[in-house]
Amino acid sequence: MANKTISMSKVRQIIKLYSKGIGKKKIAIRLGVSKNTVKHYVAGFSNLKTTWIELAKLTDFELDKLFHPPQDAPVSEKEQQLYDFFPEMEKQLRRRGMTLAYQFEVFKALHPEGFKCTSFYNYYNKWRKKVNPTMHMEHKVGDKMYVDYAGATLPYVDTETGEIKRAQVFVAILGWSQYAYVEAMQSQTIEEFVTACENALHYFNGVPLAIVPDNLKSAVFKASRYEPELNENFKAFADHYGIAILPARSRKPKDKALVEGMVKISYNRIYSNLPENQIVPLTELNVGIIKLLEENNNTLLTGRDCSRTDQWIMEQPSLGPLAETRYEMRKIKQVTVMKHCHVYLYEDLHYYSVPYELIGKKLKMQYSRSRVDIYQEYALVATHQRIRSAGNYSTEPSHMPPQHLYVTQWSPQFFMEKAKEIDEVVEYYIGQVLAKKHHPEQAYKACMGILSFSKRVGNVRLIKACKRAHEIGYYNYKIIDDILKNNLDKYDEDPAPSPMPLHDNIRGGNYYQ
């Protein structure tokens, strides 16, 4: 069983290759993982009793839960003492005259209650076993595409500045048919490298099982003899096309002998046949390169009665289908969720919302020229259209806490509609409250307070209070509050005078006429 989990991208590659009938040993060699790791994931795949097609539909988060359930048995304290001691012990064993028995005595002195001699040796032998893959260079139909850059550059003219610049020349070749692709690029950046690889796939009209790049920074972020760390964007490009990435070993030219040979052929058949004294824009340069490339692909191979093109015609049906859409280059950043439930994209000075439960969490943001995706580990938690609007917010209402969500709905129309549901008198009064402020948002809390009286004292009293406040010409929350507290809403108009009582001693109103 694997001691260290691997990325979901590599798990997908193991299952995909196994589903295509490739043996476990060869999968381990291709992907640079141990045979036991491959066995572990293949066994897990078999226990699931499903198909690769069904698993391919799952997200990385769902796949991770299937293959990496929580471990119930943590490492014991005694075992941890051993694992902490072994790295330094291994360095000491490289010294002349140092023995394993001596190192056991050192360990025993540090941990008297630790493991005995036999257990110490057994644990060390298990720990020291490392993967040391060897790659058998067997070219199969539809198997690999080898890519590299030529050492020599080509001049071209920048149409915007008029400068003479040097183009980096990208070379790709299919392993079985040796059908080649060559393109001049502006640089070796990750954007240019991914574009060149994608152009090669479209030129070949199909997708092989794997790409074998050199250890250039655009492809491999951190080289390793056992498990190199791939550039995130290059890995995302590979996932988009369902293709495995198998970096060549450092200082092992035989791993990519075909593309090294194609670079030399490019010097002889493409470089030397380009106009020597004519410097053209990059697009025109590539037109000339493709013309010479096709001549090379159509030339009969040495000692054979077929060309690279003839062999590609036979290999092409074995290549996988191209993706329905072109890969959209993405950048990746680590972001922290702010207290207002948003993350910040510094490049655009813009904020994007995420679910409020993630406040304070560190998330991964992937963004392209049109879209922003935000992940917590493998789970997609938010998606937004990319908006380059400095200082502004893209907010999904469902991401906000319930109390904040209600506030975000406030607007003049919101309060007018709420008031109209009570009565036209209240609607008119709320309209006046909003109109008295320079900016409507200044009156939102006052409007909310006035409308809340309908639940506290009822609609009838609120209507009368609004009439009373309108008669005296005051439009604010405080006057409504005072009218209701002092029961002034109960006097719709001044009381009528009481009639004079009838009595002989009272002359009455007619006496004075």
Give a three-class secondary structure readout of 461-513.
HHHHHHHHHHHHCCCCHHHHHHHHHCCHHHCCCCCCCCCCCCCCCCCCHHHHC
Q: What per-residue confidence (pLDDT) applies to 384?
A: 93
The closest of 299, 293, 300 to 270, measured between CA atoms, is 293
Least confident of 75-79, 157-161, 321-325: 75-79
Separation in Å, CA 132 to CA 34, 182, 234, 411? 8, 33, 25, 66
**pLDDT tens-digit map of 236-250:** 888 889 888 887 655
Q: How confident is the model at residue 132 (pLDDT cuts 50, 70, 90)?
A: very low
**Residue 453 near residue 496 (C-beta atoms within 8 A):** no
Q: What per-residue confidence (pLDDT) applies to 245?
A: 83
**Residue 129 near residue 245 (C-beta atoms within 8 A):** no
Q: What residues contact residue 92 under an 8 Å CB cut-off, 6+ apart?
A: 98, 103
Which burial class, exposed, middle or buried, applies to 497 when counting CB atoms under 10 A from its CB (0-12, 13-18, 19+)? exposed
Average confidence (pLDDT) over 473-480: 89
Element (H, E) at 222: strand 220-222
3-state secondary structure 115-174: CCHHHHHHHHHHHHCCCCCCCCCCCCCCCEEEEEECCCCEEEECCCCCCEEEEEEEEEEE
Q: How confident is the model at residue 314 (pLDDT cuts 50, 70, 90)?
A: very high
What amino acid is encoded at 21 in this protein? G
Rg, the chain, Cα only: 38
Is residue 101 predicted with pLDDT exceeding 60? Answer: yes
Task: Round to whole Å and give the CA distance between 149 and 192.
Answer: 12
Q: What per-residue confidence (pLDDT) applies to 510?
A: 52
**pLDDT tens-digit map of 153-188:** 999 998 878 889 999 999 999 988 999 999 999 888
Write down the residue that tokens 């009455």 correspond to.
Answer: 508
Average confidence (pLDDT) over 295-299: 93
Q: How confident is the model at residue 438 (pLDDT cuts 50, 70, 90)?
A: low
**pLDDT tens-digit map of 254-293:** 456 788 889 989 998 999 899 888 899 999 999 999 999 9
Q: Report if pTM > 0.75.
A: no
Is residue 440 predicted with pLDDT exceeding 80? Answer: no
- The crossing angle, in degrees rounded to 10, of helices 444-456 and 412-422 is 20
**pLDDT tens-digit map of 50-62:** 888 887 777 777 7
Is residue 148 predicted with pLDDT exceeding 70? Answer: yes
Domain ranges of the chain: 8-67, 77-128, 144-318, 331-401, 410-490
Is residue 134 predicted with pLDDT exceeding 50? Answer: no
**pLDDT tens-digit map of 394-423:** 888 777 776 554 455 667 888 888 899 999
Task: Round to whole Å and give the CA distance between 378 and 364.
Answer: 9
Separation in Å, CA 494 to CA 474, 483, 491? 19, 15, 7
**pLDDT tens-digit map of 328-349:** 877 888 999 988 788 999 888 8
The closest of 250, 251, 244, 240 to 230, measured between CA atoms, is 244
Task: Round to whole Å and give the CA distance between 352 and 382.
Answer: 9
Q: Provide φ and ψ at 189, rounded to 5°.
A: -65, 165
- What b/e readout covers 185-213, taking b as 16+ CB neighbours within 10 angstroms? beeeebebbbbbbbbbbebbebbbbbbbb
Is residue 21 predicted with pLDDT exceeding 90? Answer: no
Average confidence (pLDDT) over 315-331: 87
Is residue 135 predicted with pLDDT exceeding 60? Answer: no
Task: Round to whole Å and give the CA distance between 315 and 323.
Answer: 18
Q: How confident is the model at residue 513 (pLDDT cuts 50, 70, 90)?
A: very low
Task: Round to whole Å and give the CA distance between 473 and 398.
Answer: 41
Q: How confident is the model at residue 429 (pLDDT cuts 50, 70, 90)?
A: very high
Is residue 34 predicted with pLDDT exceeding 90? Answer: no
Q: What per-residue confidence (pLDDT) applies to 373?
A: 93
Q: Which residues pair with 340 in a beta bridge?
A: none
Least confident of 40-54, 238-252, 362-376: 238-252
Q: Provide φ and ψ at 409, rounded to 5°.
A: -85, -10
Task: Round to whole Å and give the CA distance between 76 and 170.
Answer: 52
3-state secondary structure 271-326: HHHCCCCCCCEHHHHHHHHHHHHHHHHHCECCCCCCEHHHHHHHHHHHCECCCCCC
Is residue 497 predicted with pLDDT exceeding 80? Answer: no
- Residue 479's CB is within 10 A of a number of other CB atoms, namely 19
Q: What per-residue confidence (pLDDT) applies to 39?
A: 87
Write down the residue that tokens 């589903």 correspond to.
Answer: 19
Chain mean pLDDT for the chain: 81
Q: What residues contact residue 263 under an 8 Å CB cut-off, 6+ apart?
A: 148, 150, 151, 171
Q: What per-residue confidence (pLDDT) applies to 133?
A: 37
Q: What per-residue confidence (pLDDT) applies to 2?
A: 45
**Residue 430 near residue 416 (C-beta atoms within 8 A):** yes
Average confidence (pLDDT) over 192-204: 92
Give CATH superfamily name and number for 144-318: Ribonuclease H-like superfamily/Ribonuclease H (3.30.420.10)
What amino acid is encoded at 428 in this protein? Y
